[in-house]
Amino acid sequence: MGEPNNGIVLYHYSFSPVARRVLWYLSLRGIDYAECKQPPVLPRPDLSRLNIRYRRIPLCAIGRDIYCDSRIILRKLEELFPNSTLSASTPDEKVIEKLLEVWNMESSVFSRASQLIPTSMPLLNDPKFTKDREDYSGRSWSKEKIAANRPEALAAIRSAFSILETTFLADGREWLLKTDQPKLADIEAIWTFDWLNGLKGALPKELISDKQYPKVFAWITRFNDALKAAKAKAPKPASLIGDAAAEQILNASFVDKDLGVDPSDPLGLQQGTEVEVFPIDSGSHHHDQGRLIGLTEDEIVLGIEANGKELRLHYPRTGFRIIAATGKAQPKL
């Protein structure tokens, strides 16, 4: 690719469990990258500078292409940095890898896990944080509401632990695909469980611990050991401030191929149409507006302008909506 740090700039903050998926992937593969640390709440001027309204973390630039959502980030890292040591190797393994992604992210596991954030956490006493998360999630973050919802969320998460213990890990394997080392499939499966395990007060010991789910907890420990060893060997990420990150991105080349707009797409949209794109599940008030330049069964590509230059924003198809531009999409960052 020839650019510093492989042209990768990852926007994230360290306690984001979703960003960790990407950080872990990069460490386990030993891919060099740069990071641009973000505050955990809006505003995020580093992204406004690029005219990006998508508000979720992580975002990842590779060259002048910007990938919104960890699912498309991981997919593109697999494609753009071939010979991955983490990919599933057989079609059956691919199915498992994909279904684990869907299970955690698109079915309710992650949203249930985030309902277990303990009310004792200092952040939940910070009205700036709770107001921000209400905008993001569309649900109340009052301590009363969180407490009232907790039993149901706990029941859902306990059954998710049980699924791992009694199916994938039941035969005593070390990694989900019976490999010698953790793979992408392990990342796809472990991130919500590892996050809850590290979140003091999220999991009541009498219900969810290494007593009831010894295999799951041993797998989490093993994963963290493997990660520590990989991190020690991997290049240390360069840290960029927002200005430097924006400059690098705007001066880079596009790295991704032109997809074009599928003429048989059910939405019937034409290439070049002015549209708004936004996620449906969270952060839905934040619409990017630009020209539709790519649309396939699994990707949306939007051309936007920043500082007189074109940037291409890429989103997965699932969980995102495209509407005709209203002209009202204001930066909310």
Ligand X SMILES: N[C@@H](CCC(=O)N[C@@H](CS)C(=O)NCC(=O)O)C(=O)O
Binding footprint of ligand X on the chain (CB under 6 A):
16-18, 40, 55-58, 69-71, 105, 136, 282
The answer to whether residues 72 and 59 touch, using CB atoms and an 8 Å cutoff, is no
CA gyration radius, the chain: 20
CB 2, min distance to ligand X, A: 28
Nearer to ligand X, 5 or 38 (CB): 38
Residue 39: left (phi > 0), alpha (psi -120 to 50), or beta?
Answer: beta
CB 44, min distance to ligand X, A: 8
Listed residue (64, 63, 55) closest to 33, CA to CA:
63
Please say whether the dihedral angle defined by the alpha carbons of residues 22, 26, 31 and 37, taken in this order, is positive or negative.
positive
Q: Which helix (H) or strand (E) holds 191?
A: helix 184-198
Residue matched to tokens 């200005």? 243
The answer to whether residues 302 and 290 touch, using CB atoms and an 8 Å cutoff, is yes
Nearer to ligand X, 72 or 203 (CB): 72
CB 104, min distance to ligand X, A: 9
Nearer to ligand X, 215 or 288 (CB): 288
CB 45, min distance to ligand X, A: 14
The answer to whether residues 36 and 281 touch, using CB atoms and an 8 Å cutoff, is no
Nearer to ligand X, 59 or 252 (CB): 59
CB 263, min distance to ligand X, A: 28
CB 78, min distance to ligand X, A: 15
Nearer to ligand X, 169 or 190 (CB): 190
Nearer to ligand X, 56 or 222 (CB): 56
Q: Give me the residues paired with residue 288 across strands.
A: 277
For 34-142, where are the alpha helices, taking DSSP H only? Answer: 45-48, 70-80, 91-101, 109-114, 127-137
Residues 6+ apart with CB under 8 A from 141: 124, 130, 131, 133, 134
